Structure 1
């Protein structure tokens, strides 16, 4: 028995026990090496049983790996599809359809991936959203610690339908309620990507439809208190709003649950395409946006909105700057705002600058705000500068309406045609009705030092702008206003006529002038109605009073083609010709009171070509007047001795001191081929009647008339000449012609 006991003590332990003892020894050595104390017998056990320990550890690792592989191979996530579909339906009353396979991968991170899937509208079979595929990866280490940390989320081919009903509700209200219940601290996402997606919306309240296509969004880490970089791009299509453009944006997203703040900082967004009714628009927005949901407030800082677009040869630029903008309690306020715009064109340049020192929007209106503006225009040789200020009101009732109720403006105009800079000071009100696309201004003040009243309206229908003007001036002295050197250009035949300013302009209205001075002629109560329609200008009627007469005329100018076309008609009755010629600065060679009418037309691109192409007729009828240059009665008496004799014709030079009184005088001229062809020329004096015809050359001013002077049979004051007819030949410069009596 003693031998049996000794033998039992000498029997070696089993392999499993050896492996366990070896592991204990190796762990003890590790603790002894890094810990504050040494484990007894650890070194002995490790040396004695290390082979068994290594073998056991290898077997354990292999066992764990085998179990893991078996779980991976045998686990099929698709078997949970039905449970997931039921859970979604019970939770949201929406139908989830999983057309694609569900896949799970475990290395290097846990990943869940799905194929095509769709979600219906709430309590409806209509599709709300669908995806082509989605992938979510989860970090292992936080998961082993009992915390879910999503490493990345990717969604490809998302298609969603957003709808706002007539009652104001939307088809995402239930989902938004569930998202609002998620605590911000529970959100921790390293990255989020949305690619090849689209979003369509239908607003039954505003009757708007639109879509975001080719939508791509990429976010960095999304976690409470962590700033995340954001990039996005999409194509925006909203036909009712006139938008078809490409959108690109980037910024930094931050939400802070403790502070109750959501921040989108360093915003830099661009929109290229058609927007705001403008083609080829490049719109850029920069700034910082902060939302405070608890306070129902929204703040924007350093907002800069710039726009640029090109139309034909014109380049338009505009910049809106707002340093600080606050929204809260249905009020929008800002400390300042400025708007700068410019138009650059080979033929013209314009700038506009508007500043608002402060503004506040409340109750659908912008009130108690003052605006300051400066405007400049360079068009050819013309320079216009204007500035003004006014209280400003903007209301949204019945559509946006803008009012400047107390405008005070000053403008300076310089042009080679002006003798000096023309200064205008006006005050009044301006109203702009955006829904009806019209505006009107009622202004009074001074234009070039004279009292004036100006009513202007503009409307835009189907993209065509039409102006309406009613202007009234107390006095207008064009002789003092216009430069002498500029007026002299119109006496040069080579001076071209440029009417491009009238192209594609539509305007109508009336101009009234109490006293009008032009070329020395003084008129009273002058007025003209005008109608300009696509380069065709009509002034009809034109009316004025002067020199005891009433002027009535009409003028039509067609500048649509390369060569302007002019038509003028008119008449003046009971005019005092002597006073008229005296004010014109012409020699008073003709006196009398009577009527003048004309009907002429011309076509040409220069002053000379217009005169050469002059066509029409001119009629003159005078009574109780005098014709200067010759005393016809004395000339006949001087030639009485040569009656019946063959002698050379008597020549008489123009004598300004001499004149022939007449009871009536009539003349009709046909204008053609650069000459005025006089027909039915007739002059009746007390005892003499002269009649005939002739020409006036318009380019040289040479006169050539052939008349027959007949003495009445009862002319006792012309003894020996009664019943005699004497041919007269009038020729030479029209200002001082020579007379020949045959």
Structure 2
């Protein structure tokens, strides 16, 4: 026993001597700076980029086997400038010496100071973090890893978690300390620069299976300081002993942000708990809460296959908030609206599902003021985003959200018009259906609205496109083809059984036309500018109006008045300000923005009207030539000289603007024709039915000429 004790004490003494000798001799004999170039060369070969250790390298042995390194730089690939990709001011780490003898790793606090990471994306899309590692080095590294671990997975055999089979067991890491770090991202394609400064980041003791504290501060700047964000992070983190799982507790991210000249606005993000199982590839975050700019939102997350093919699902709820208050919080001027009470309340809730191929919202309920939108929406995450939606809206008055009307004179519009560009349509893949119980826009009220929009390969189709309005129905379809420039717009639309007066009054404050309307149109246009949409309009349309009136113009009174004045008599009393009609029909052809109507027919009290004319849709003018035949019923209904007009056809002209048309009656010409006709009849010239006076006179002259010629021939023959 005494001998054994002596042996043990002797071995212990020898160990102490060896350790003391190592502490004294190794720093004197080994100069790590002699290996700087070799280390730099190895890193350069492994990464494919220049690596430099510009600072001093120092080594310590007891009680820690420590290493301190001065400034280090890893360069950028060619074409990205001379600024280093990664730069470290200094780094220090150590391992306690005595535990190494029993294959236990106790690592000191890892310290990094002056870390700089410069990320750059070029205008052509290439980035300086791509292709990191030389081809042969990367292949050699993979082969080496596979050789060391057998299947390429798990830690190498000389640094293991449990200390068995010659491996080292990681007992603890005293912590991680990061000071004065900066990450800079420059997107040269978008012309943006984002910088994230991390003044401090520190952790408590890191040990498998034990929780540790994490604290950090950061300042994010966008551009030249037009937007900034400062944040403080706190959390309790715990890794499983085999590092196969991680848990976060009491995660909190608080701070503030500024945009432009706005004041700092506070925000907060909190997670009471996060559980990630890296072996099972699952994630659970039961409750995430966020607050910013007066908006409170909650979120829960469940993840599967989070490493191989991440898939997430959960629910998001945005509590009721005021959009106007959000504008104010962000220092943004709220839009002026006709109704200042709108944008006062909004909320949202939805279930979500997301994976690498698609993100989807379902059971969506979005509320804005008095309107509620429900449905589903998804976006495919392919090269061309695939958008799908099915939405239902209860009711909305869009006029309340339009800019308010003003009595100030409108500013003169700049010369020219707006160019139309539809390149975006070529990369749009859309299939969306929409219904609404009631919609009001520009005064027009529609109910039972239904529409479906399908866009693919540069073509957008709206079909169906229908709604009930003003006791009638609107149905149709529209197509926008942008495969060739300029884009072509075509519309097929029908209106049936709707009341003209409330429709025109609500749409354009126009109250001059009443009746029940039937309307069909097949129109198309191709234009590169807004003005060209009207001037290039082509197509056909038909209309049928019944039991209505032209308000403000009494055509029969104008005829009576003109007739009386032509006779030198006093004008009659106006009995009604309007022109009533039983039926008004016609068809029209539109070419280059001009509507030509050759078959206008109208049935009015005392009058039958036919005619033709043209409407310039760009200029808003019209010019119609009409023939109004006075019906025989005038003889029974009218009194005085007006009865004399029975059977007469009166030439009318309708001209002026669509907003203020005028009617003129050529009574003098009609009386002149009647006088000429009566005189000719007394001379024995009586036109046959359907024959004009000119033809009748020509025929009578030819008869007289033939008669005179025959008489002359007879006289010559008899002499």
TM range (shorter): 0.5 to 0.7
Equivalent residue, structure 2, for 1:529: 452
Listed as ranges, the matches of 1:324-339 within 5 Å are 324-329=235-240, 330-338=245-253
Q: Deviation per CA, 1:408-465: give whole Å up to 9, x if none.
A: 3446153235643514533423435243253435421421222221433223213x44
1:663 corresponds, among 574, 578, 583, to 583
- 1:547-566 alignment runs, 5 A limit: 547-555=470-478
Partners of 1:469 and 1:220 in 2: CA distance = 63
Structure 2 vs 1, CA of residues 411 and 616 (structure 1 numbering), >3 Å: closer, same or farther?
Answer: farther
Q: 1:21 — aligned with what?
A: none
> 1:223 aligned to 2:61?
yes
Q: Does the 8 Å contact 1:266/1:287 carry over to 2?
A: no
1: CA distance, partners of 2:413 / 2:534: 9
Q: Relative contact order, CA 8 A, sep 6+: which one is greater?
A: 2
Q: What's the secondary structure of 2:381's corresponding residue?
A: strand
Structure 1 residue 477: deviation in Å? 0.7
1:559-612: per-residue Cα shift (whole Å, max 9, x none)?
Answer: 999999865442212222233234343214332332243525374656x67655
1:407 is aligned to 317
Q: Is the 8 A contact 1:593 1:624 kept in 2?
A: no
Q: How far apart, in 1, do the equivalents of 2:407 and 2:304 lie? A: 49
Q: What does residue 402 of structure 2 align with?
A: 482
The structure-2 alpha-carbon separation of the partners of 1:446 and 1:221, relative to structure 1 and needing over 3 Å to count, comes to: same
Structure 1 or 2, whichever has the larger Rg, is 1
Checking the alignment, whether the CA contact within 8 Å between 2:360 and 2:376 is kept in structure 1 is: no
- Offset, 1:195: 1.3
Query: d(CA) in 2 for partners of 1:212 and 1:320?
Result: 36
Deviation of 1:473 (Å): 1.6
Structure 1 partner of 2:177: none
Alignment correspondent of 2:432:
509
1:594 aligns with one of 515, 518, 524 = 518
Distance 1:524 1:586, change over 3 A: same
Partner secondary structure for residue 483 of structure 1: coil
Aligned counterpart in structure 2 of residue 693 of structure 1, from 589, 593, 612: 612
Q: Does 1:301 align with 2:225?
A: no
Cα drift, residue 326 of structure 1: 2.2
Equivalent pair of 2:338/2:405 in contact (CA under 8 Å): no
Q: Displacement, 1:638?
A: 6.8
Structure 1 residue 654 displacement after superposition: 10
Separation (CA, whole Å) in 2 of partners of 1:298 and 1:200: 38
C-alpha displacement at 1:355, in angstroms?
Answer: 0.8
Q: Residue 224 of structure 1 contacts residue 255 of structure 1 at CA under 8 Å; is this kept in 2?
A: no
Q: In the alignment, which residue of structure 2 is the partner of 1:103?
A: none
Work out which of the residue numbers 457, 461, 464 in structure 1 matches 2:378. Answer: 457
Matched, 1:198 2:108: no
TM-score by length of 1: 0.58
Cα deviation digits, residues 617-669 of structure 1 (max 9, x gap): 54322234333445555666677789xxx989999999962323223422425
Match of 2:118 in 1: 272
**Residue 234 of structure 2 corresponds to residue 323 of structure 1:** yes
Query: Contact conserved, 1:403 with 1:431, CA < 8 A, in 2?
Result: yes
Distance 2:648 2:409 in 1: 50
| More strand per residue | 1
Displacement of 1:223 in angstroms is 2.9
After superposition, the Cα gap between the structure-2 partners of 1:195 and 1:633, relative to the gap in structure 1 and judged at 3 Å, is closer
TM-score, normalised via structure 2 length: 0.60
1:583 equivalent to 2:496? Answer no
* Deviation (angstroms), 1:476: 0.8
Cα distance, 1:388 vs structure 2: 1.9
User: Hey, what does 2:695 align to over in structure 1?
Assistant: none
- SS of 1:453 mapped into structure 2: strand
Instruction: Tell me the equivalent position of 2:709.
Output: none
Larger mean Cα displacement after TM superposition, 594-603 or 659-668? 594-603
Q: Which residue does the alignment assign to 1:416?
A: 336
Q: Is the 8 A contact 1:157 1:195 kept in 2?
A: yes
- Deviation string 1:687-718 (CA, Å, 9 cap, x unpaired) is 74322222345566444211112356898758
Deviation track 1:179-206 (CA, whole Å, cap 9, x = no partner) reads xxxxxxxxxxxxxxx21223889xxxxx
| Counterpart contact for 1:440–1:458, Cα < 8 Å | no
**In the TM superposition, what is the alpha-carbon distance from 1:353 to its structure 2 partner?**
5.5
* Structure 1 residue 468 corresponds to structure 2 residue 388: yes
Q: Is the 8 A contact 1:354 1:374 kept in 2?
A: yes
State the match for 1:115 in structure 2: none
Contact 2:539 2:591 (C-alpha < 8 Å) held by counterparts: yes
Give the CA deviation at 1:470: 3.2
Change (3 A) 1:412 1:564: farther
Whether 1:248 aligns to 2:87 is yes
Q: Secondary structure at the match of 1:456?
A: strand
- Give the distance between the partners of 2:443 and 2:515, measured in 1 at CA: 18
CA contact (8 A) 2:549 2:578 kept: no
Distance 1:497 1:610 in 2: 11
Aligned to 2:297: 388
Contact in 2 for aligned 1:197/1:214 (Cα 8 Å): no
Which residue does 1:726 correspond to in 2?
Answer: 650
Contact 1:264–1:288 under 8 Å retained in 2: no
Distance 2:486 2:291 in 1: 37
Using the TM superposition, give the Cα deviation of residue 680 of structure 1 relative to its aligned residue in structure 2, in angstroms: 2.5
Question: What displacement does 1:143 show?
Answer: 8.0
2:662 matches 1:738: yes
Contact 1:388 1:408 in 2 (8 A): yes
Native 8 Å contact 1:516 1:522 kept in 2: yes
1:389-421 per-residue CA deviation (whole Å, 9 max, x = no partner) reads 233444445633344424134461532356435
- Counterparts of 2:407 and 2:613 in 1: how far apart (Å)? 31
Give, in whole Å, the separation in 1 of the partners of 2:572 and 2:107. Answer: 106
Distance 1:145 1:736 in 2: 108
- Contact 1:503/1:559, CA 8 A, preserved across alignment: no
1:678 Cα deviation after fit = 3.6
Task: Give the Cα separation in 1 of the matches to 2:454 and 2:407.
Answer: 26
- 1:360 is aligned to 274
Checking the alignment, whether the CA contact within 8 Å between 1:513 and 1:525 is kept in structure 2 is: yes
User: Are 1:620 and 2:526 an aligned pair?
Assistant: no
Distance 2:520 2:571 in 1: 31
Distance 2:660 2:631 in 1: 28
Question: Is contact 1:443–1:455 with CA below 8 Å preserved after alignment?
Answer: yes
Change (3 A) 1:658 1:541: same
Q: Could you say if the C-alpha distance between residues 145 and 417 of structure 1 is closer, same or farther in structure 2, counting changes exceeding 3 Å?
A: closer
Report if aligned partners of 1:320, 1:337 keep a CA contact under 8 Å in 2. Answer: no
Gaps of 5+ in 2: 1-19, 78-83, 100-105, 120-126, 131-184, 188-193, 325-333, 638-642, 667-719
Query: 8 Å contact 1:523–1:546 — kept in the other structure?
Result: yes
Q: Distance in 1 between matches of 2:322 and 2:421?
A: 24
The Cα shift of 1:545 comes to 0.7
Listed as ranges, the matches of 1:92-103 within 5 Å are: none
Alignment of 1:40-189 (within 5 A): 150-153=29-32, 154-155=34-35
Gap change, CA 1:433 and 1:700, over 3 Å in 2: closer
